[in-house]
Structure 1
Amino acid sequence: MSVVESQLHIEMGTKKPCRNCKWEIADPTNPNQGQCTVNRTKAGSVWKRWVRDVHNMTCTHYEEGELSFRDHV
């Protein structure tokens, strides 16, 4: 796996867009953007990443679905 595959990257027409990923939080003012919350620091806190294009960005941590309560803690 290359470094770019494990990081957010543009993949035009991807079948696994950030928009459908359970780790993405939509931007309330711009539905084409959002934040990724899949990564955590060593201390366990969420490390958010900016998603500039939720339709064409993806990464290897993609998981479709909804976050459960346990995913938040």
Structure 2
Amino acid sequence: MGKFLLGFIIAWYLCHRFTHIMIASECERLGGFFVGSKTYKCHLVTELQKGSSVPAAILEAEQGVKNEVQ
């Protein structure tokens, strides 16, 4: 049982790591990746704003919605 558990943990770690590497390489090479019938588009974050936990894109979208309502 101990060997099975050790093997399972090693396999999980390798698959987890491989998945992250594969998604990163697909995003860099193609600008996105797909899972089943869904396609995802990737955006590179070059500068991380410190002190703000809400991304700027969300803040801009909320301002756009407020402007449309008024």
Under TM normalisation by the shorter chain, which class is it? under 0.3
- The structure whose residues are more often helix, as a share, is 2
Q: TM-score, normalised by structure 1?
A: 0.19
Q: TM-score, normalised by structure 2?
A: 0.20
User: Which has the higher Rg, Structure 1 or Structure 2?
Assistant: 2
Of structures 1 and 2, the one with the larger relative CO (CA 8 A, separation 6+) is: 1
